[in-house]
Chains A and B, each alone.
Chain A
């Protein structure tokens, strides 16, 4: 390919799935051009915030301990999605995750044992050394070394599609770029606040809940092409209000707060809303299994906000938060300082404290410290909040990524009216909703992005006349049912 000519394979997007697609297509021999909407410093989309890959394995595998068989992974996925998943595609992702890491390593990704504070996923998740930005950097280096062309700050506004066939991409600047095939991997619409507002609508209090959401990741996932594809008649999947949504520190920046803005002390104290009321069992299960439901819980509260309240006993027992908590010597003072009416707040705290039945506190098990005759109950780790100083951390819903996407099959092809396109493919967040109808389990976004990124890349190359020399066997294993 000449340095300026149109490529065989055009990859739109610059995160993990896009890079996997570009690398595979290039390995197959196709000339590849990546169009990344962000400037170089912000490249990689949400992948710069990720930290691990959920991996199936039948025996210990370098950084992964014990075993995490296909069936267990599948059951975990079934549980979190409540059945809103496609078993064939999910199993494809699961099986692919068991064999893809040597390829990732070849392109410069380093794995490491789990981070301190994340030992609960030592068995199921392989951590990237340095996190997702290190992975993104490695893939970009490898892509550059293989001769993939990369253009930053090149957002695409529309595609030319005829009879389900990709013809060309039109950039925001009006440039027309043709290619033999195309991979769409440019994310969900989570960063598009207007779209979020519209999707979540108005609640019974007359609020527009999404106005109070924070976006945990990139500001560049505006969903421009997702919207274009929906309007162009591509088959879709998922509900626009479904997303990976966690409760994060309300003081986080609007975009790119990433991992450090989470609040991990919920299960060690109580959570109250703006009216000073508790609204859910803080001790229902281990926090890593519950953090992903608290975003929606907070979204349902007035003002889409809440406060996690702890006392001195909890300090040092949870991942240290990035923002200092509001601190006070008495609970009344704490209420004043965070702007809550102390009367209902103190009623809630007194009711909770007297309801605590303290047994043997153990944060590493589902212990026997619980409340009695309290609604909602706190079923584990219920200790009275009585040891000053007291701390409050403000919470808001934090959206990681949205699940509305394009329906696809094992080939990653975009479908129109049930028929697959021969040369247009989708990967990453744009189609993750096929596997994740709702809910989330750590690291599965990367499992989906890597699997379908690679498949999309191979099939886009295939469609342009280039066969990948090695992937056939790996894919056959992953796709066998």
Chain B
């Protein structure tokens, strides 16, 4: 019998099954998740917190696809870390939120489209975001300045005197549509990987078909309410310690709905322009301005709150290497809103062109970084939630300890 104390640390990821040759295929971060999931699957105390653990109990082994699926289900709420009897300083060193976060950024990289662009995630950071926003704004400002219209007589908010409408429409919609396309291609590839159709048992096909509608409704509701930032008991997630708070959920909702309202404002304005021929500027009491202002308020409050929480968060949560990406995205959203409000307030003054150029530069920076930055988390997590809401409606083929 070998000395037992030497064996205390699980050195190889047991779940990867060397015999299956899976270990070789997993990266270090993926192996870490697989190792922890094997420990969690033998414990299961955290099953009530979120979707990750119920999804885990349907599996015995954690291959690459399972690891990426579970990692994207994780909302990094921190509940399972603070509740974990195996968390550091325990030699098992289980820190699920951190391990999952490290895999998530790999998901974004691996499934980026075009693939080579996945490298950009490594550079996604606060300084890149700010430099890009600053650079593009400066470029726009200089472009306007060269035409001699940077400081001008008040134009009653006529943006198109500065940048022709068609120019804006073509440039911004093409970049935005590219971002959407890139994310769609990425998430489709992710979906095919985590839900391989070849493994589906034939009787499950009917169950999947029947589950599709209610599963989609549940997934949409889980995203819309940010259910899994509720901690399982509805009191919220952990921030700086083991206490719970709903602040992250609220600030995230301000951000999400702020973004959607701004998008709605732009869409309504586009309809006004092309359908009715009503051109900007729109009066203060008009649908685009009201939607945009509400959205903008959300994008000031939400990101500011998220940044404040991000700075105070227990360093054990998440992956500190990704703080730059998180904060860069937060900063861009905040700046878009701030410059948008500045433009709204100053649109009747001589400084409209200046603020228009800065605002457009910031928006362009967001669009350009959307498929290669933190924005992707919402897309991949929604897909993982949908997979979960379908999967939980299928019969569990494991009968582990169910007597």
- With a cutoff of 8 Å between Cβ atoms, the chain A residues found around residue B91 in the complex are 253
Check if B48 sits within 8 Å of A130, measured CB to CB.
yes
Check if A324 sits within 8 Å of B14, measured CB to CB.
yes
Q: Does A190 contact B (CB under 8 A)?
A: no
Q: Chain B contact residues: over half helix, strand or loop, or mixed?
A: loop
- With a cutoff of 8 Å between Cβ atoms, the chain A residues found around residue B92 in the complex are 253
Q: Does A147 contact B (CB under 8 A)?
A: no
Contact of B403 among A131, A251, A286, A396 (CB under 8 A): A286
- With a cutoff of 8 Å between Cβ atoms, the chain B residues found around residue A244 in the complex are none
- With a cutoff of 8 Å between Cβ atoms, the chain A residues found around residue B90 in the complex are 256
Contact of A322 among B38, B85, B88, B401 (CB under 8 A): B38
Check if B39 sits within 8 Å of A48, measured CB to CB.
no
- Which of A24-32, A65-73, A258-266, A293-301 interfaces with chain B? A258-266
Check if A133 sits within 8 Å of B84, measured CB to CB.
yes
Separation in Å of the B334 CB from the closest CB of chain A? 32
Q: Chain A contact residues: over half helix, strand or loop, or mixed?
A: loop
- Which of A91-99, A156-164, A312-320 interfaces with chain B? A312-320
Q: Does B398 contact A (CB under 8 A)?
A: yes
- Which of A109-117, A415-423, A427-435, A449-457 interfaces with chain B? A109-117
Say yes or no: A316-B7 contact (C-beta < 8 A), given A259-B45, A322-B38: no
Check if B46 sits within 8 Å of A131, measured CB to CB.
yes
Question: Considering the chains assembled together, what is the distance between the CA atoms of A113 and B8 in angstroms?
Answer: 32
Q: Does A439 contact B (CB under 8 A)?
A: no
Q: Does A463 contact B (CB under 8 A)?
A: no
Separation in Å of the B6 CB from the closest CB of chain A? 9
- With a cutoff of 8 Å between Cβ atoms, the chain B residues found around residue A41 in the complex are 88-89
Check if B83 sits within 8 Å of A131, measured CB to CB.
yes
- With a cutoff of 8 Å between Cβ atoms, the chain A residues found around residue B324 in the complex are none
Question: Considering the chains assembled together, what is the distance between the CA atoms of A103 and B235 in angstroms?
Answer: 18
Chain B: residues with Cβ within 8 Å of the partner, total of 48
- With a cutoff of 8 Å between Cβ atoms, the chain B residues found around residue A250 in the complex are 1, 4
- With a cutoff of 8 Å between Cβ atoms, the chain B residues found around residue A327 in the complex are 19
Q: Does A288 contact B (CB under 8 A)?
A: yes
Q: Does B29 contact A (CB under 8 A)?
A: no
Contact of A116 among B19, B42, B54 (CB under 8 A): B54
Question: Considering the chains assembled together, what is the distance between the CA atoms of A65 and B386 in angstroms?
Answer: 30
Question: Considering the chains assembled together, what is the distance between the CA atoms of A316 and B401 in angstroms?
Answer: 9
Q: Does A51 contact B (CB under 8 A)?
A: yes
Check if A259 sits within 8 Å of B400, measured CB to CB.
no
Q: Annotate A277-305 by CB proximity to B: 1 below 8 A, 0 otherwise.
A: 00000000011100000000000000101
- With a cutoff of 8 Å between Cβ atoms, the chain A residues found around residue B86 in the complex are 258, 260
A residues 109-149 touching B (CB-CB < 8 Å): 110, 112-113, 115-120, 127-134, 137, 141
Look across to chain A and name the residue whose beta carbon is closest to the beta carbon of B397.
A316
Q: Does A197 contact B (CB under 8 A)?
A: no
Separation in Å of the B5 CB from the closest CB of chain A? 6
Check if B403 sits within 8 Å of A137, measured CB to CB.
no
Check if B49 sits within 8 Å of A129, measured CB to CB.
yes
Q: Does B135 contact A (CB under 8 A)?
A: no
- With a cutoff of 8 Å between Cβ atoms, the chain A residues found around residue B83 in the complex are 130-131, 133-134, 137
- With a cutoff of 8 Å between Cβ atoms, the chain A residues found around residue B401 in the complex are 116-118, 264, 287, 318-319
Check if B1 sits within 8 Å of A133, measured CB to CB.
no
Contact of B4 among A127, A133, A214, A258 (CB under 8 A): A214
Check if B402 sits within 8 Å of A116, measured CB to CB.
yes
Contact of A260 among B15, B42, B232, B402 (CB under 8 A): B42
Check if A254 sits within 8 Å of B5, measured CB to CB.
yes
Q: Does B243 contact A (CB under 8 A)?
A: yes
Q: Annotate B42-58 by CB proximity to A: 1 below 8 A, 0 otherwise.
A: 11111111000010010
- Select the residue from B45, B54, B60, B92 with max chain A CB neighbours within 10 A: B45
Separation in Å of the B277 CB from the closest CB of chain A? 58
Separation in Å of the A306 CB from the closest CB of chain B? 11
Say yes or no: A363-B80 contact (C-beta < 8 A), given A260-B43, A322-B38, A322-B42: no
Question: Considering the chains assembled together, what is the distance between the CA atoms of A119 and B396 in angstroms?
Answer: 15
Question: Considering the chains assembled together, what is the distance between the CA atoms of A319 and B400 in angstroms?
Answer: 5
Look across to chain B and name the residue whose beta carbon is closest to the beta carbon of A327.
B19
- With a cutoff of 8 Å between Cβ atoms, the chain B residues found around residue A396 in the complex are 4
Q: Does B82 contact A (CB under 8 A)?
A: yes
Q: Does A364 contact B (CB under 8 A)?
A: yes
Question: Considering the chains assembled together, what is the distance between the CA atoms of A119 and B44 in angstroms?
Answer: 13
Q: Does B205 contact A (CB under 8 A)?
A: no
Check if A129 sits within 8 Å of B42, measured CB to CB.
no
Contact of B82 among A134, A262, A287 (CB under 8 A): A134
- With a cutoff of 8 Å between Cβ atoms, the chain A residues found around residue B19 in the complex are 327
Q: Does A466 contact B (CB under 8 A)?
A: no
Check if B60 sits within 8 Å of A141, measured CB to CB.
no
- With a cutoff of 8 Å between Cβ atoms, the chain B residues found around residue A318 in the complex are 400-401
- With a cutoff of 8 Å between Cβ atoms, the chain B residues found around residue A287 in the complex are 401, 403
Say yes or no: A320-B43 contact (C-beta < 8 A), given A117-B400, A363-B399: no
Check if B82 sits within 8 Å of A137, measured CB to CB.
yes
Q: Does B152 contact A (CB under 8 A)?
A: no
Question: Considering the chains assembled together, what is the distance between the CA atoms of A457 and B17 in angstroms?
Answer: 51
Question: Would you give 22 A-B contacts (Cβ < 8 Å), ordered by A?
Answer: A48-B85, A112-B48, A113-B48, A116-B44, A117-B44, A119-B403, A130-B48, A130-B82, A130-B232, A131-B45, A141-B243, A251-B4, A252-B4, A252-B8, A259-B85, A287-B403, A303-B1, A320-B41, A320-B400, A322-B14, A364-B402, A394-B1
